[in-house]
Amino acid sequence: MPVRATPGGPYNINGMHAVAVALAGGRTPLQASPADKKSAAKKLIRLYQQAGEVPPASLRRAAGG
């Protein structure tokens, strides 16, 4: 996931939003298992929180919450 422009740099919020949209099915279907999608959603939620952002409801649903 492209969450930082450079190692240790600021979060790439636009990249995080793009990944959230993809996990929600808003782009070409991801070729990943349901377990991998759930794992990615959980990690992305943690990154949203670390960046001080509110994760979208679709991402929380993808994470099983």
CB-based contact 40:1 (threshold 8 Å)? yes
pTM here is 0.85
User: Is residue 6 a part of any domain in this protein?
Assistant: no
In a domain, 32, yes or no: yes
Report residue 19 CA to chain centroid gap. Answer: 5
Does residue 19 form part of some domain? yes
Distance from the Cα of residue 23 to its chain's centroid? 7
Give me the number of domains the chain comprises: 1
pLDDT tens for residues 2-39? 678 788 888 899 989 999 999 888 877 888 999 999 99
Q: Which domain holds residue 51?
A: 13-62
Residue with tokens 């001080």: 52
pLDDT in tens, 31-52: 899 999 999 999 999 999 999 9
